[in-house]
């Protein structure tokens, strides 16, 4: 029987590295839902091969140890919740495929813009760009932008 790449990584690093595994909060069993506060659970195995859980966004030292049996129960329940969620997603996908319609006010479904409107917008951008390029004096630039020169009265280039 072939060993999975994840299993090989875990066995190679056991005792020498810490392992973190993120469990998304929608898949957590009900007993963890309340304390999760909609945060993902991080299942952690430290270098001593002790199992801990902590919550995403919490401090590193804030964790709670788990027994191997407690961890197996947690993972079994998470796996069950994931398979139920997968079934629900498949049902939703088939429903959308059968009944879903395009939105009425989405710009992606409007008729394409005519070329004349594009050329007018392009000319307007060109005129604005020329107006900015034509300002060669820094004092004029500050006046155009609606302010005074930050250098005070005269501007000598520094």
* Residue 129 φ/ψ, nearest 5 degrees: -65, -40
CB 42 within 8 A of CB 53: yes
d(CA 113, CA 84): 45
d(CA 49, CA 73): 18
CB 68 within 8 A of CB 117: no
Q: pLDDT per residue over 19-48, tens digit each?
A: 889 999 999 999 898 888 899 999 988 888
Q: pLDDT per residue over 71-108, tens digit each?
A: 999 999 999 999 999 999 999 999 999 988 876 666 66
The full set of domain ranges for the chain reads 5-99, 114-144
Q: How remote is the C-alpha of 148 from its chain's centroid?
A: 42
**Higher pLDDT pick, 11 / 144:** 11
pTM of the model: 0.55
Mean pLDDT: which of 4-8, 106-110, 127-131, 140-144 is highest? Answer: 4-8
**Confidence band for 123, pLDDT divided at 50, 70 and 90:** low
- Confidence (pLDDT) at 77: 95
């Amino acid at each position: 029987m072939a060993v999975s790449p994840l299993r090989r990584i875990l066995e190679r690093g056991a005792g020498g590295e810490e392992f973190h595994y993120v469990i998304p909060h929608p898949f957590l069993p009900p007993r963890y839902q309340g304390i999760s506060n909609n945060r993902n659970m991080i299942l952690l195995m430290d270098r001593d091969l002790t199992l801990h859980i902590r919550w995403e966004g919490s401090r590193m030292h804030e964790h709670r140890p788990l027994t191997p049996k407690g961890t197996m129960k947690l993972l079994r329940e998470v796996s069950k919740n994931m398979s139920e969620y997968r079934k629900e997603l498949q049902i939703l996908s088939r429903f959308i495929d059968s009944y879903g319609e395009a939105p009425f006010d989405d710009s992606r479904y409007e008729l394409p813009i005519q070329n004349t409107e594009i050329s007018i917008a392009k000319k307007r951008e060109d005129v604005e760009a020329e107006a900015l390029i034509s300002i060669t004096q820094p004092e004029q630039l500050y006046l155009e932008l609606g302010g005074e020169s930050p250098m005070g009265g005269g501007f000598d280039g520094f």
